Structure 1
Amino acid sequence: MTKTVPVSVRTSPAQQSAAPVTPTTIRRPRAGLPVLLLVLLGICQLVLVAPLHAAENVFTSTNAIKEEAVRFAGEGKLFLKGPVDPYLTGTVVTAGVFGLTYLFDEKIRDEFAGSHHGVMRGITDAGNAVSNPLLHLGVAAAFYGAGAVTDRTSIMQLGEEMGEALLLADGATFVLKGVIGRGRPYQVDSSTSYRPLQFKDGYDSLPSMHTASSFALAHVVADKTESFYGKAACYAAATLAGFSRVYQNKHWASDVVLGAAIGELAGAAVTRYRNASAGSVTVAPMSIEGAPALALLGRF
């Protein structure tokens, strides 16, 4: 926000006749997301230097790091298999919704075109701010660190699951953005403008990482609550994030549809792996003292 403040200056008569006094413009720095990120980074730094009392965590134990790597590999495998097994029906439905939305991308963009003011602008500003993927990773790190410091395994595990789901969702969308190279709605006139594999700024629209990150986080948190209203609130927040990206012309509507599907798939891969019933087994690659090996993952 720019505020103009008159400043009174004493000058000699000669100076007064030479040049009039003009108002001085003072710009106030914007607070908000950068401040919140700094707070989260401060929490993480406290975690690194504080005495940790939890049984084992990635700050103090190489075994915990190895276990995390093996676990993440297992979750990654479920994530890659998910669109076919067990979510083939969901994949078909998502493809249909994506295709239908793709046809109307430009009409939807035009519907929200023009100046945005008032309550809706404020709501979507908030939706954009809280859907930042870096902010989500900071929240996950803060939960994990708080659980490690206070010896609260449940809190540490929640942060762990958040982080794993976010890494899967953000990693997948990051790769797809560069490979697909779709022009953002503020960059191009046509929703069919692409520059694949060129990794150009403004041509990284599909899919929406903000939306994918929000839905991944929503799935993990919703899985931890038994309340219907709690689950609904998680997904309402994620939906607001996606809507905000379209409303403020950051993404095409179909970008958001695909991003939501990727985020949900990532969250489901993490919770499915964690909630695997006894006796379920999967195989993942790993390394033992530099030698390639396979690990059996699951619960026994």
Structure 2
Amino acid sequence: MLLNYRILFILFCAFSISKSVYSQTAIPSNVQDTLSIWQLAKYDAKAAVLGVGHAYSRPLYWDGKDWTTFGIVAGGTALLYFVDDETSSYFRRQRDRLPRPLREFGDRFGSPQVAYGLTSSVYLFGLFTKNQKVRETGVLMISSATAAGFLQTVLKASVGRSRPQNGQGKFDFKPFSGQAGWRSFPSGHTILAFTAAYSIAKQFDNPWVKAGIYAVGLISPLSRVWDGAHYLTDVALSMAISIATVDAIDNYLNKNNLYPDGRKKPGISWNLHLGLGRVGIVGSF
């Protein structure tokens, strides 16, 4: 509950920084370098809150390709749903075979304290050193974590899916029950951990570096499955939410050229390939 109020407080403060929250005028890089820490913080806060609003509004502007991607994600999730109980049992059996440091890292990295601590540290380092690229990364991480985090808070309460460790099975739901055992979807650890990892990975060109960062970001989602806190579909769809949110906000920052020296890097591009006797999904990054 405390986290819910924190997210709402962040949103309220961000919307209060300016009389106009519907547009952001880009400031050239050489001018940003001359601004005070406070002026940069206000500029970044406004960029962050507008990024959050942009992410929430994107479904209203989806085109055919976006709806195709949505259909692929929905279809893939539906297929995984059929084997949720089986995959959960399998992952939970592997738990004790995994190294304790790996299990502890997975649990802690996706926690709100660590995730928001990392996000804040990245942004504050960029702010006080006036490193524009690091500031932009921090803004992307903060706004993405806020947008996706608030969404997962609402969905957890409204969906009310039973956790695997309850032993009730994948079809058990208690919407708006408020009970911790019925907050399986989506996975907050997954959203916070993978949102941070995906945002950071966007700043690198090397695909091996990207893959390494993605691998670190996957530890928390997998840890939630082998701990019995979430089903595989919970973490898979949570990752899709993270990717969509980060991409939407990153596109907003780039399209409006709010950080002129920032490299404009695409996220993971998912493409559906159809042919005679074959069908496939290819992700490129």
Q: Same fold (TM over 0.5)?
A: yes
Match for residue 207 of structure 1?
186
String of CA shifts for 1:166-212, please: whole Å, max 9, x gaps.
11111111110100000111123211110012222211001111112
Matched, 1:154 2:110: no
Match for residue 45 of structure 1?
none
- Correspondence for 2:50 among 59, 66, 70: 70
- Percent identity, please: 23
Q: Aligned residue pairs: how many?
A: 225
Shift of 1:214: 2.1
Segment of structure 1 superposing worse, 56-65 or 249-258:
56-65
Secondary structure of 1:87 counterpart = helix
Listed as ranges, the gaps of 5+ residues in structure 2 are 1-32, 258-285
CA contact (8 A) 2:145 2:196 kept: yes
- Correspondence for 1:275 among 251, 254, 261: 254
Q: 1:203 to 1:55 in 2, by over 3 A?
A: same
Structure with the greater relative contact order (CA < 8 A, sep ≥ 6): 1 or 2? 2
Question: CA RMSD for the aligned pairs?
Answer: 2.6
- Correspondence for 2:83 among 84, 104, 113: 104
Higher helix share: 2
Match for residue 140 of structure 1?
119
String of CA shifts for 1:237-259, please: whole Å, max 9, x gaps.
22222111111111111111111
CA distance in 2, matches of 1:66, 1:114: 47
- Correspondence for 2:149 among 145, 170, 188: 170
CA distance in 2, matches of 1:201, 1:244: 18
Shift of 1:113: 3.8
Shift of 1:117: 2.8
Matched, 1:180 2:155: no
Shift of 1:61: 5.9
Segment of structure 1 superposing worse, 261-270 or 140-149:
140-149
CA distance in 1, matches of 2:238, 2:61: 15
TM-score if structure 1 supplies the norm length?
0.67
- Correspondence for 1:90 among 56, 65, 69: 69
Shift of 1:105: 1.0
String of CA shifts for 1:121-143, please: whole Å, max 9, x gaps.
44233222212233111111111
CA distance in 2, matches of 1:106, 1:223: 34
CA contact (8 A) 2:47 2:253 kept: no
CA contact (8 A) 2:190 2:235 kept: yes
Larger Rg over CA atoms: 1
Match for residue 263 of structure 1?
242
Match for residue 226 of structure 1?
205
Secondary structure of 2:241 counterpart = helix
